[in-house]
Amino acid sequence: MEKILREFIIEHMKKNNLFSKKQYGFIAGRSTGLQLLEVIDKWTEALDQGLDIDCIYTDFMKAFDKVPHKRLIAKIKNL
Protein backbone atom coordinates (compact mmCIF):
# COMPACT_ATOMS: atom_id res chain seq x y z
CA MET A 1 0.00 0.00 0.00
CA GLU A 2 2.77 2.43 0.95
CA LYS A 3 4.65 1.77 -2.30
CA ILE A 4 1.55 2.44 -4.41
CA LEU A 5 0.82 5.68 -2.56
CA ARG A 6 4.45 6.80 -2.70
CA GLU A 7 4.64 6.27 -6.46
CA PHE A 8 1.33 8.10 -7.02
CA ILE A 9 2.39 11.06 -4.86
CA ILE A 10 5.86 11.34 -6.37
CA GLU A 11 4.50 11.18 -9.93
CA HIS A 12 1.93 13.87 -9.13
CA MET A 13 4.56 16.11 -7.55
CA LYS A 14 7.00 15.67 -10.44
CA LYS A 15 4.28 16.30 -13.04
CA ASN A 16 3.24 19.52 -11.28
CA ASN A 17 6.80 20.65 -10.44
CA LEU A 18 6.07 20.64 -6.70
CA PHE A 19 9.43 19.42 -5.43
CA SER A 20 11.67 22.09 -3.97
CA LYS A 21 15.39 22.08 -4.78
CA LYS A 22 15.76 21.53 -1.03
CA GLN A 23 13.90 18.18 -1.20
CA TYR A 24 16.09 15.12 -0.63
CA GLY A 25 15.46 11.47 0.08
CA PHE A 26 12.52 10.79 -2.23
CA ILE A 27 13.99 11.80 -5.58
CA ALA A 28 16.48 9.72 -7.55
CA GLY A 29 19.95 11.28 -7.38
CA ARG A 30 19.07 13.41 -4.32
CA SER A 31 19.99 11.17 -1.40
CA THR A 32 19.91 12.09 2.26
CA GLY A 33 23.70 11.67 2.26
CA LEU A 34 23.99 14.38 -0.37
CA GLN A 35 21.65 16.57 1.69
CA LEU A 36 23.82 16.08 4.77
CA LEU A 37 26.96 17.15 2.89
CA GLU A 38 25.22 20.24 1.52
CA VAL A 39 23.80 21.33 4.86
CA ILE A 40 27.13 20.83 6.67
CA ASP A 41 28.78 23.02 4.02
CA LYS A 42 26.15 25.76 4.52
CA TRP A 43 26.36 25.53 8.32
CA THR A 44 30.15 25.75 8.25
CA GLU A 45 29.95 28.82 6.03
CA ALA A 46 27.39 30.43 8.37
CA LEU A 47 29.50 29.70 11.45
CA ASP A 48 32.57 31.18 9.72
CA GLN A 49 30.52 34.37 9.22
CA GLY A 50 29.48 34.42 12.90
CA LEU A 51 25.85 33.61 12.14
CA ASP A 52 23.50 31.51 14.28
CA ILE A 53 22.11 28.19 13.10
CA ASP A 54 18.66 26.86 14.02
CA CYS A 55 17.29 23.56 12.72
CA ILE A 56 14.29 21.30 13.20
CA TYR A 57 14.34 17.61 12.28
CA THR A 58 11.21 15.65 11.47
CA ASP A 59 10.85 11.95 10.76
CA PHE A 60 7.91 10.67 8.73
CA MET A 61 9.31 7.16 8.28
CA LYS A 62 6.33 5.45 9.90
CA ALA A 63 3.71 8.04 8.93
CA PHE A 64 1.55 5.60 6.94
CA ASP A 65 1.56 3.07 9.78
CA LYS A 66 -0.54 5.48 11.85
CA VAL A 67 -3.04 6.51 9.14
CA PRO A 68 -6.44 4.78 9.01
CA HIS A 69 -6.12 3.11 5.59
CA LYS A 70 -9.86 3.04 4.82
CA ARG A 71 -10.12 6.80 5.38
CA LEU A 72 -6.99 7.40 3.28
CA ILE A 73 -8.35 5.33 0.39
CA ALA A 74 -11.65 7.25 0.53
CA LYS A 75 -9.78 10.56 0.35
CA ILE A 76 -7.68 9.36 -2.60
CA LYS A 77 -10.82 8.26 -4.46
CA ASN A 78 -12.24 11.77 -3.95
CA LEU A 79 -9.18 13.25 -5.65
- The answer on pLDDT for 57 being more than 90 is no
pTM of the model: 0.47
Domain range for 45 is: 1-77
For the chain, list the strands marked E by DSSP.
none
Contact 24, 30 (CB under 8 A): yes
Residue 1: its pLDDT value, please?
Answer: 80
Contact 53, 46 (CB under 8 A): yes
Most confident residue range from 5-9, 15-19, 45-49: 45-49
* Structure confidence at residue 61 as a pLDDT band (50, 70, 90): low
Report how far apart, in Å, the C-alpha atoms of 57 and of each of 2, 38, 54 are: 22, 16, 10
- The answer on pLDDT for 36 being more than 70 is yes
Number of domains comprising the chain: 1
Report how far apart, in Å, the C-alpha atoms of 13 and of each of 2, 16, 18, 49, 60 are: 16, 5, 5, 36, 17
* Structure confidence at residue 62 as a pLDDT band (50, 70, 90): low
